Structure 1
Amino acid sequence: MSAIRQRFSGGVSSPELAVFVSGVVSMGLEILAGRMVAPQFGSSIYTWGSIIGVFLAALSLGYYQGGKRASRRATEERLVRVLLATGGFVAVLILAGDMLLAGLSGFPLPPRFASLPAVTILFGPPTYLLGFISPYGAELSKKESTGAASGHVYAVGTIGSIVGAFGATFLLIPTLSVSLIGLVFGLLLVSTSLVILAPTFPRRTVLATLVVGVLLVGAVAVPSAGYSVRGETVYQTQTPYQELVVADLGGTRTLYLDGQPHSAMDLDDRNRHVFEYTRYFHVPFLLTDWTNESTEAPHQSGDIDRVLFIGGGGFTGPKRFVDDYDVTVDVVEIDPEVIRVAESYFGVEERPRLNIYNAEGREFLRTTDRTYDLIVLDAYKKDKVPFQLTTREFMQLTADRLDEDGILLANLISAPTGPASQFYRAEYRTMDQVYPQVYSFPTSGGSVVQNIEVVATKSDERVSQAQLEARDERRDIGIGLSTELADYQAEVETGDVPVLTDDRAPVDALLEPMAGRRYVVSQTGPGGNVTAGTG
């Protein structure tokens, strides 16, 4: 075997460089896989378990096959071929990843395994190829013993994985799109191949390197359709927390988070409630005591003076509250990019009675010394629910931050009945452990997955549906809620679901029956008519 050429003054050999880069790319692709898969399959523990399992299995198989062939076939040129083949697969991921994910989502599997075929087919092959690099690198190593060569390769590859994990998490994902991140990893493979080939540059291998480089750049350069079923994409980015898309369709601007509609705004009437569920945010104004129910003073808020929203999105509720009522609204949003997008695309601006905080909801409640009359919890998605915002301990924290007759409203996504209702019923039972009275309002009817508004009060008095309807007629709160109050659900069966606690909150298992189910987001037209949309 010819001596390994040294590339750098520090004595890093070509095989060591290849091993390091394979570690960077394998871990970087693993982090990236979570972002690519989330819009189609969500980002539950089952999705991440599938990703981690597939990457480990593919690497193990690559290590095994590479080890069997290394003694006979390990050369620097073959290292380059493996790197380039991996780069070719990355180009396919960039160009057709979304289409392939959509096409692979129809396998008839239990929901918790739904993402496994797609992850295996898309990310298994390139990860398998990267597994060849380490045994080839050990075979080409100049170390005197097998143990020294193996240990050195493991160390270099692990350092590369650390760089890939931190680089993707803290640098690439917050600043670049998925396709550009893929391009970065692909070009890293191509440039490493060129470094290994220098100074001889075999003609055929160099040509293959250039072809892969062109494929990678071309995959990114091919313009994606700016119009889809969502409408015209106005803005799109990856944040440290989620994929974020702003799209316009038929005079309505919608904010999508990880592929699901979160907020919507009528471009001609920016304070109109487009999504029906946001109208239910006004229900607490019918549950408070009023000293004067005269309708002479418009848009009264009763005893509600200070409101906290946990979760901002497009700020539909906060904007409407500040405009309609004499209340001060604090909004806590964990994702700074969501705040920036709300300000840039949804007409949000801080004012004397609208305060915006970039913080995690539970931590904000734990550290603040303020108390509120109403807390609106709007931080849940269909398949991604921060468990720390669901537990009995968290509900107790909200109660501690509410005034004596304070109210908590939680916007859940679930089915009201059937197997897909488990999360909703568990959350209802958990809130019932802390609050004297809990009310439930499904927003779309039937047993489909939908927004369900669960309202909990510290008052011991139970307010009936008839009383709420009477108050709606007497009180002027700026919006009529007769249709919404008709959805009042008097009885909720909770005997077969757990109370969620910090010690045990099986949120992913409770959400699992909703996987693959149609999510209905009812929408209101300018004239008040309600139609069903799909999330």
Structure 2
Amino acid sequence: MLSGDFVESFVDRGFTKIDLAVGVSGIVSMGLEILAGRVLAPRFGSTIYTWGSIIGVSMLALSLGYLHGGRTSYGASFRDLEKFMVYTTGYIFFVMFAGEFLLSAAAGLPVPPRYASIVPVAVLFGPPTYFLGYVSPYAAQLSSKDTKGGASGHFYAVGTAGSILGAFGTTFLLVPFVPTDWIYIFFASLTLIPLLGDLKALKTVSPFLVLVIGALLVTSSSVSGETVYTDSTVYQELKVSDSDGVRTLYLDGQPQSAVYLNGSGYPWKYLDFFHLPFLMRDDVEDVLFIGGGGFVGPQEFAGMGYDVDAVELDPGVVKAAQQYFNLSEGPNLQVFTQDGREFLRETNNTYDVIYLDAFKKSQVPFHLTTKEFMQLVHDRTDRNGVVVSNIISTSSGPGSKFAKAEYATMSSVFDSSYFFPTRETGLAQNIELVATKNQSLNQSVLFERADTYKRKNLTDEISMMRNFSSEDAMVLTDDYAPVERLLNPLVGRDYVVG
């Protein structure tokens, strides 16, 4: 068996410093690949285009490293191998300190949105992966094995084992619990370990050891004046910041929720549109939110006496909302930490109003957009139920492709659908898609009902109701929902928050 041969290989010859270098190169190359997804997400989204760019650039860089390493490895010494580990360490520190600047510069390049992430991936993560590609060919050349095939097979196995360890370790241990800068420091330090047994190499390594210590000190002591909380959750980068009397929750760099610090309410207008369902039926009791964020909406309606269930996928978001947005469960508010679609599939409850509020500007979980999902939402609303989907889009033009597709998808399931942009602007904005069962309402009826709604004056919100055509739009399905392509026109466009 292959695994038996692999183990026997180490029994026969022991685990050498060359093996260590190859294993470390596998850990770090795969770890950087996974970390790249987290680093790029705030600016370029966590889309299939982003991940395709990461995987493609990583494979290309490794291939070039293998090719050039094979060509230059003849007559090489372990010292020659060591220098590529040092190059990798140096570049990782460069990325750590200059990465944000490079990401900002890359985001401004005139590149079509779907290809925009290729440049920063190539600049930030291509070079260290390329350097690590040299390690295996050099190791095979330095091997004491009798045949080149035996040496190559052995080091492919060691490198792959390292990659497996790097994949699982970065995914399940580092990213969920360790800040990004510390992960950079860990990988940079790890690449130096194979050198530490070589006294001559210490002179080369010592400047980088100083960098490691300095980076640790800087990372542990640097706190932004406006940032009150940060966290790297399993799903995203989270930050809570205070500015001009407003506390804002950012997820992957995108604003998600906001409240006034003096407790006077919320600064974003789109939340007023969440009151529209109460004009569409007058006997609301049970409300469901899919997507929590700062839980501003769920707390608002629970405070009015409605029974609210709120579903949030990310436990880190729930924790931040509890600490910084006054979230607390009570008789009228229950919080469930799980995927929204999974919750709907498992629950037997039905709701008078369901809010879909789990989307970010450039990151949309496609399984919460499809016809099959909307049918599940339909089944979990009562006979005269109302559904509100809060999306980010433009109201017309190329940037409205996702809005049109989602409107068409909701319309394929519900009896009536309504389109409410929240602002008079051609920029990306919050748009409320509203759907109803067993009734059709017009603007005049809503104005009449608004006269008797005492909780909020909704005249401005009703006046934003627009006729919206989705004749040429696709209906999204589980089999085909190209949300990344539909959202492409929004990449790099200004977003009018709230």
Q: TM-score range by the shorter chain?
A: over 0.9
Q: Is the 8 A contact 1:94 1:220 kept in 2?
A: no
Could you tell me which residue of structure 2 aligns to residue 239 of structure 1?
A: 233
SS of match in other structure, 2:464: coil
Could you tell me which residue of structure 2 aligns to residue 3 of structure 1?
A: none
Could you tell me which residue of structure 2 aligns to residue 210 of structure 1?
A: 206
Q: Is the 8 A contact 1:411 1:453 kept in 2?
A: yes
Aligned AA for 1:463?
Answer: L
Could you tell me which residue of structure 1 aligns to residue 215 of structure 2?
A: 219
Could you tell me which residue of structure 2 aligns to residue 85 of structure 1?
A: 87
Q: Using the aligned pairs only, state the percent identity.
A: 49
Partner residue of 1:481 out of 448, 458, 461: 458
Which runs of structure 1 show a deviation greater than 3 angstroms over 4 or more consecutive aligned residues? 6-10, 223-227
Could you tell me which residue of structure 1 aligns to residue 262 of structure 2?
A: 268
Partner residue of 1:178 out of 171, 177, 180: 180
Matched, 1:466 2:444: yes
SS of match in other structure, 2:235: coil
Matched, 1:103 2:102: no
Matched, 1:278 2:281: no
Could you tell me which residue of structure 1 aligns to residue 4 of structure 2?
A: none
Distance (Å, rounded) in 2 between the aligned partners of 1:466 and 1:430 = 26
**How far is the alpha carbon of 1:9 from its aligned partner?**
11
Could you tell me which residue of structure 2 aligns to residue 296 of structure 1?
A: none
**How far is the alpha carbon of 1:473 from its aligned partner?**
1.4
What are structure 2's unaligned runs of at least 5 residues? 1-8
Cα shift readout 1:332-368 (whole Å, capped 9, x = no counterpart): 1000000000000110001111000110000010011
Could you tell me which residue of structure 2 aligns to residue 305 of structure 1?
A: 285
Partner residue of 1:166 out of 149, 165, 168: 168
Root-mean-square deviation (CA, aligned residues, Å) is 1.7
Distance (Å, rounded) in 2 between the aligned partners of 1:429 and 1:115 = 30
Distance (Å, rounded) in 2 between the aligned partners of 1:191 and 1:281 = 56
Could you tell me which residue of structure 1 aligns to residue 129 of structure 2?
A: 127
Distance (Å, rounded) in 2 between the aligned partners of 1:7 and 1:53 = 33
SS of match in other structure, 2:418: strand
Query: Structure 1 pair 225/470, CA: closer, same or farther in 2 (3 Å)?
Result: farther
Aligned AA for 2:98?
Answer: A
Cα shift readout 1:417-441 (whole Å, capped 9, x = no counterpart): 0001000000000000000010111
Could you tell me which residue of structure 2 aligns to residue 113 of structure 1?
A: 115
Matched, 1:454 2:462: no
Aligned AA for 1:449?
Answer: A
Matched, 1:424 2:427: no
Could you tell me which residue of structure 1 aligns to residue 321 of structure 2?
A: 342
Matched, 1:250 2:227: no
Distance (Å, rounded) in 2 between the aligned partners of 1:332 and 1:10 = 55
SS of match in other structure, 1:174: coil
Cα shift readout 1:391-444 (whole Å, capped 9, x = no counterpart): 000000001011111111100011110001000000000000000010111012
TM-score w.r.t. length of structure 2: 0.95
Could you tell me which residue of structure 2 aligns to residue 528 of structure 1?
A: none
SS of match in other structure, 1:222: helix
Aligned AA for 1:519?
Answer: Y
Query: Structure 1 pair 316/10, CA: closer, same or farther in 2 (3 Å)?
Result: farther
Distance (Å, rounded) in 1 between the aligned partners of 2:13 and 2:389 = 58
SS of match in other structure, 2:231: strand
SS of match in other structure, 1:434: coil
Could you tell me which residue of structure 2 aligns to residue 154 of structure 1?
A: 156
SS of match in other structure, 1:455: strand
**How far is the alpha carbon of 1:226 from its aligned partner?**
4.2
Matched, 1:63 2:66: yes
Could you tell me which residue of structure 1 aligns to residue 192 of structure 2?
A: 190
SS of match in other structure, 1:314: coil
Distance (Å, rounded) in 2 between the aligned partners of 1:221 and 1:51 = 30
Matched, 1:375 2:368: no
Distance (Å, rounded) in 1 between the aligned partners of 2:404 and 2:485 = 13
Partner residue of 1:318 out of 274, 285, 298: 298
SS of match in other structure, 1:240: coil
- More divergent stretch after superposition (339-348 vs 274-283): 274-283
